[in-house]
Every structure is written in structure tokens, then in C-alpha cells.
Amino acid sequence: MSVSVRRVQNGSDRRTFLDFPYAHYAGATHFVPPLRMDQANVLNPKKNPFFEHGEIELFLAERDGETVGRIAAIKNGKHLEKYADGNGFFGFFETVEDYAVAEALLDAASDWLRGKGLTGMRGPTNPSMNDVAGLLVDGFHRPPAILLPYNYPYYEEYLTRYGFERAMTMWAFYVHEAYINAARMERGAQIVQRRNPGVTIRTLDMNRFDEDIAAAMRIYNVAWAENWGHVPYTEHEALHLAKELKPVIEKDIFLFAELNGEPVAFAASLPNLNRALKKLPKGRLLPLGLPKLLGTIKAGGIYEIRMALMGILPEHRNLGLDALLIHHTIVNGREMGYEAAELSWVLDNNASLVNSLEKLGCARDKEYAMFEKGLGAPRGPEGSED
């Protein structure tokens, strides 16, 4: 039976697009249902500052009147401004286990991107590299950490079959307190501190929240400028993200390294709320979800953190600040009752950080990847033929 793909055109279509993953992963043990409200806001031009420079077109795949997949085609203006590489993106990609469905969805996204004059497609990004990005290709043994994707294993096969090649590998490192060499970690931190007496570590100042977030994003944009795929946060995007995450940020695991009183590095960690979110009925907070979420948190059901962002200004990268920030995050986390940490994701070509993490006893736990392929020559303006 044939598969048809159509654009999302109205509120009903949008609800179908947002609802699809909850049924699609109903039998998946490690799927964590994202909050419906958050997903809706991400795709709302009035609420997501991504749309100040980007465009997103949503598509649904149907067969015999049943929704069997979805995809978003994405034009990221900030990416094109930085790289001028002709790459568009795809994201929010979900398909039943049928290659014909995946192919039809990817065809639709490819056609839309070509119509925008783009010559390549990369993904998945939901919707950008600064959001939930990457495909899970190994590490299906546990649920993803907060703000990381989950998908069925066959997705990689379908992308490869369509002609995608792996563009970058990203790792999630995991460490449990039982396997930390605390004495070695402490000695390393003391050595770094002795060599750099002007360095101090401080926590996020919640009374100067906006200023500290702005400082962290300035460091991040400079520190990551040469990293693969990096697109800088706009000021609006950074403040929007901080506002969204402020209710779950814990200052003692959001750390700054200062040199002579000036912030030169930071490491931002979050409680891994996915353990609690997993208990929500189909991603809904109300009426039953919020009590379950709060109950899990109050019962001490959150025992992991995720170090989600780290940045060190280039001129200070050889001081050992990464190890110092990781050490203090782990120490503070243990004092707060956390037992384990995921540090993710880390680009495969970031040899220095990979080496530091492995020396600290962190193990590679999950593997994510970004994929890309060429689209051929653009066909001219959208809706026309050359």
C-alpha cells in the first residue's frame, strides 16, 4: 500500500505531528515522553527565537488514513551565515519500521530544502545543534539523559540506505560514584590549583542569573567557535533557553572558573529529570502528570546529573580547567545526594576532553551521530522548475 506525505497545514495536523511519538514509542522501555507543551513551544514561531533566523516546514506520512511518520525540513539562517555551505537540516524524524515510509519523508524534506536553494541535508536536529540533536546509534540499554534524543535502532540503517554518511560521532560519558578514583581526582585538582593560584571556582549566582547566563554564553560562543557544526547562540536564544531551564537549574552544579576575578570557563549541569518525566502519562503535566513528577523528585528519585555544556576560552585551555570543573561538579553533586553523572555529548574529535574524562574514570556509555548527504543542484525558487 502506497505512502503519501503532506505538509502540516492547520492546528489539527500540528497536533497529529506532536502526538505521533507517544504512540510510536508506546512499547519502548527506555523512551522518555517529552513534555507536549515544550514540544509545541519549540515549533511555535511566536515562542521560539530560532524562527528569527530560521524556517521549519513540517510533514506527515500517511498510509490508509493512518499516520506512519513525520519529519521537519529546516533552514537555519545562522548556520548558513557562518558556514555558507548550502546545508539544510532535517529533524523531528520518526517513522514506523518500513523503509518506504522513511524514504518518502526524506524525499519530502529534500525537495523542500532544494526549493530553498540548498544543496545538502544534515541531521537530525530538533531544530538546531543547540537543541536536541543527533541520532542514537549505540547505547539503547538505558533511557536518554535530559535534552538528549531517543530513537529505534533501525533509524541508522534507513538513513544509510537513503545515502546519508556519518558526519560526526558524539559520545555520552557516564560515571558512577562507585567507580570514581576520588583520591586521584582530588590530587589532579590540587595540582591544577597550585599551578594556577589565580583560578577560583564559584557557583551560579541566582541573584545575577541573567548576567551569569550571558557570561556563560559569551564563553560558549567563543570556546566552541571552531568546533564541528557549532552555531552561536543569539542573545535572545540564550536568554530564552535559560528562562526555560531556570526552574530545574541547581546553582551548585552550574560552575564558573574565574581567573583573577574574570569568568574564563564554565560547566553547566542539570538534574536528570528524565527519570521523573518517564512516569508522565504521554508527556502531559496535567491533570495527572504534575503530581507524579513532583512525587518522584520529592522521593529522591533523581540520582543522576547531566553535564550538558562546558566552555573554556581558547587562551586558557591548557590550564586544566576542564578537569577542575568536572572535579568540583562531581564533588558538589555527591554532597547534594547525586550518585552518577552523564557528561554529554562530547565530539569524537575533541581528543583533549575525551582524554580528561577517561582519566577521571568516565566510560563511553552512548554513541550519537550526525548524518549528511548532498541534494544535488537546486531546482530554483520554491515551487518552480529550472
- At 138, give phi and psi (nearest 5°): -155, 140
Task: State pTM to two decimals.
Answer: 0.92
Please provide the average confidence, as pLDDT, over all residues in the chain.
91
Radius of gyration of the chain, Cα coordinates, nearest whole angstrom: 21
Secondary structure (3-state) at 344:
strand
Number of neighbouring beta carbons within 10 Å of residue 197: 8
In the numeric block, which cell numbers belong to residue 243?
528562562
Q: Tell me the pLDDT band of 245, cut-offs 50, 70 and 90.
A: confident
pLDDT band at 356 (very low <50, low <70, confident <90, very high): confident
- Percent of the chain at pLDDT > 70 equals 91
Rounded distance between C-alpha atoms, residue 323 and residue 337, angstroms: 21
Integer Cα distance of 75 and 73 in angstroms: 7
Domains annotated on the chain, with CATH? 4-171+370-374 (3.40.630.30), 175-367 (3.40.630.30)
Cell of 372: 549528511
Whether the Cβ atoms of residue 134 and residue 126 lie closer than 8 Å to each other: no
> What is the widest separation between alpha-carbon atoms in the chain?
70
Q: Is 315's pLDDT higher than 80?
A: yes
Distance between the two ends of the chain, CA-based, in angstroms?
32
What pLDDT is attached to residue 379? 46
d(CA 93, CA 123): 9
Cα gap 118→80, rounded to integer Å: 10
With bands split at pLDDT 50, 70 and 90, how would you rate the model's confidence at 54? very high
